[in-house]
Structure 1
Amino acid sequence: MATTINTTFSSIFLTSHLPEEVSITTDQESLEVSVLVNSSKVFSSVYYPYNQEIIVRDIRSIVESYMSGAQRNIATLKIEAKGAETIKETVTYDDDGNIHVSYGSDTSSPTVVSSDDITVIYCRFSTILSSEAFLSSHFLTTLRSALIPRSGSMKLSFFATTREASSISARIYFSQLANPSLILSLDCDLGETPSDFDSISSKVLSHAYLKTLVDRATHFSCKVHGAEYRVGNRQFNLFFTDEQPCDTFHFLNAFNHLDTAYLFAATTTKTEIDHSEAVCGHYTQFYDESVKVKHEVETAPLTPQEASWLSEMLSSKYVTRQIDSFTSAKVLISDITSEVTDSDKDLIRLKFSWKYADGTERL
């Protein structure tokens, strides 16, 4: 019996769809099973078969742990099973009947069996659709629409295979400055998805970019209100507002992709000062003083979809706050109150606290 990896893998997997167990049959006394991600060995252990079968468990947690720590949203996975090396053994008998065993310096090459390369996309949520069906119909975000300021932007990413040749288009809604009450639309063909190799592609959408497309087509002053952006079967609705957000955060979402959250919220800053006191004569002096600053946030009313998406930020391992147009600083989020309801009567508001990771406030 040869060594065989029995579990069937498709060429593309969301990490949440990876099998819980991998079955390997073998006639070897032991196998070294390794999990390789982007050709790096992230897990390796020696297994001893029972009834000529080995079961390897927790593949998903091994892969997701590595990709999360490395902040990767796409990787190549391979499972490798290697037999033990065998040393050539020579047995001889002398005239007195004694047995002599000698071992040669040459060793036989171990048997190595591996799976094909598997493309994996990081995903914390399981889906009803298969991995390929989901990726061909969804962007790498759980949002389906977003309201952003006109000065802001939204980065949309998607996974496309070499077999996919999807058109990219946008339907832009705008009005003339001379007649702001009349909403017009413009359909724009923006090309096709790249097809050189399986990859994640991104596009940054902003008011300035969409307005440029309208200006080229109409040649009159206009104001863009929103757009429907499509890549094949994927669709995202983007809306613009003149209101400025109270805060802007960037975070790794459920797909380990960097998302931007423009928060319309109320923020309360609390400062806690702790120190020791020393008295010398008639004078009192403070020492060992520490200052802790915490910012408490309560969001404006959210839709259930927005609240669920924003909850990803509250549990994300990487969150930064935008200081200005060029600078962001890492923050830590705590004291989270996240209650998402589908009731039409109750308003959804999320509450949380944040502080700078290095403990230093910014001006």
Structure 2
Amino acid sequence: MLTGCNAASTDKHTLDVLFIAYDQGESSAFLQIEDALTKKGIRFNVLALGRAAAVYKDRANVIILPEEVDPAALTHKRAGLLSSADLAAITQKCQPSVVYTGMASAVQAQLSNAFERRGSKVIAFYDNFDTAVGNAWIRPFLDTIKHIDELQVPTEQTLASFHHIDKLKDTRVTLVGQPALEEWDKVFRAVDARALREKLHISPSDSVVLFAGGNINDGYKQAFQRFVSAAAQLPRVQFLVTWHPKFDGTFEAEVVRLAHSGNIHRVDKAIASTAELCKLADVVTTYQSTVGAKALYKGKPVIYIAEKSYDNFLILAGLAERVSTVNATVKAIKDKLADKETKVSLSPLGMPDKPSSEVMRRIVEMLES
């Protein structure tokens, strides 16, 4: 009999999954997978620790942790672990058939090990598009994990990279894509592009370029300055600016104000989200944001404004362009706008069209095996 993690999921016909989330990126993917499982009638629960605690704060199906455990306490401690008493208290709350965990922290591995010892099968999900070799943020997880039944990855490139990690040489690695990308499918279906243009006072005939803000550091500041300088040289194009949710947008607002260019508009999130604005955009620019992958997934040409040393899987695959000067930024935007009818996609990376459905299929197979 498959037992669940709460009273509502103890029916003997229930197939139970426990998600263990830590980071924002994997949480975004898990939310899409959860939707697919719900439609299939598979019940699940979530253990949310670290940054994921805020993501899941008001959602159903989240396991209530013991009072002495602060779910956000490990936010900046990827190598942090639970005490033996806390680990026992949490694992005694349920016995899932499958544990589906991210790889962002040691505590996820610690919990997975504990559930595996009690009979759970473990699926680990690598949510990053960059190669796993030399990727420091997964090291605490890899150093702590004892056994993985299946490792799921987003692209053929990341799949190949795991073959070079000795600890996982005998682990089954499966290409499933990145479910987090599907978050924008819902947004694009819901957005009325014409109505949003009217709301922003943008003519139907105007070309639109979006800058998606990121974490503020010296490199980001330089990149944004280059973007604004380039935008000022293209007065017939409308430029929209958003900022990273960790910040308040004052940096971007000040740079835009000082530019004195009427075609550059910082858009408040109360008016439209980055995803909604992307629906309008003919071209999407950013510094090093994951918005680039989501925009490409939706067929938008992407330009990274970053230092010459910066690379990512999209740039290396020739799917996105990197520019490092104002003049190069102006040229890249002009070229993309002139060729905006050409559709781009992530298909060269070998990603499945519906990642969440692919993940669900593998989970169901494991539950039924």
From the two aligned structures, give the one with the greater strand fraction: 1
TM score, norm. by length of structure 2: 0.27
- Bigger Cα Rg: 1
